[in-house]
Amino acid sequence: MPNEHASTLRAQWLGQQLREMREKSRLTLRDVGECLNRNASTVSRIESGMLPARVPEVLTYLDVCGIDDPKRRDDLKTMAQDVWQKGWWDGLAANVAASLIDWIWLESRATAIDSFQDSVIPGLLQTRTYAETVIRAADEDLADDQLHRFVDLRMTRQQRLSQPDPIRLSVIINEGALRRMVGGPETMRAQLAHLREMAGWPNVEIMILPFTAGAHASPNGAFDVFRMRRPYPPAGCISTVVGTVVVEGEKADSLHQRYNRLRRAALRNGAVQRVLFDLEARLE
């Protein structure tokens, strides 16, 4: 049986494609099950993502549904390979929520991320001390060793920005997050200086939504939009206190539109550097 962490967003996306393909071909779960040597209940679990499909099963799906388009076959084969592909995060499953594993996988697949952060600095731009402070504040009962694992995880995720083919990161930070005193003056000075440095990276864009912008396009808080290569669609992520909500299709498009509206109201380039430098100087 597959391990529990294999049944993730990857498996759900693949299962959704298989179900849509089967239904379009007017085949029943039993019809496909006979070709897979599986019962209808097992086929249903594959299509729901509870039981990730393997490459031979996907190829059988394609054959029984009469799909001969090479691009379509390659896309679904890629998705099936990704379901079982091991990543550096595999050993974290016992200690990290499945929704965070999904988030990490989206980052690993994304070519670009648009991120609006309302109350904290984005995780991909946090210093170690700042990250430790906000993680501890979110869960004061967290054991020290677990805290250090979470901080190490966040630092490892940041390597995605400096790889040979780096992700493009665009962030809009609410001014309040920059003024919030996290961990004391020394921690905040280091964090603001780090943001000023990162703003100079060619693949990183940092913007600030100033208080003077007034009411804005995301009054309910932070979100991220991930853009990925084929065969994956754009996806949006919204963090909540009970986990992460992942959306695609029109809902992901809606988040992207909100981001563009926030972008029009945000400070950029030199104005951002001046704000960060001024805030840092006030902490001297």
> pLDDT value at position 87?
61
What architecture is the 9-84 domain classified under in CATH?
A: Orthogonal Bundle (1.10)
Model-level pTM?
0.80
Q: Which of 112, 110, 134, 111 is nearest to 122 (CA)?
A: 134
pLDDT for position 189 = 96
Helices (H), the chain: 9-24, 29-36, 40-48, 55-64, 70-84, 98-109, 128-138, 144-157, 175-179, 185-198, 249-265, 269-282
Which residue's entry shows tokens 């780096």? 166
Every domain of the chain and the residues it spans: 9-84, 98-282
Residue 6: per-residue pLDDT:
43
The radius of gyration of the chain's CA atoms, rounded to the nearest angstrom, is 22
pLDDT computed for residue 83 by the predictor: 76
Level-2 CATH architecture, domain 98-282: 2-Layer Sandwich (3.30)
Instruction: Please report the pLDDT score of residue 261 as a whole number.
Output: 97
pLDDT tens, residue order, the chain (284 aa): 344 444 567 788 888 889 888 998 999 999 999 999 899 999 898 888 788 888 889 899 899 999 898 888 988 888 888 777 666 555 555 455 566 777 888 888 899 999 999 999 999 999 999 999 999 998 888 899 889 988 998 999 999 999 988 999 999 999 999 999 999 999 999 999 999 999 999 999 999 999 999 999 999 999 999 998 888 889 999 988 777 788 888 999 999 999 999 999 999 999 999 999 999 999 97
Residue 88 is predicted with a pLDDT of 54
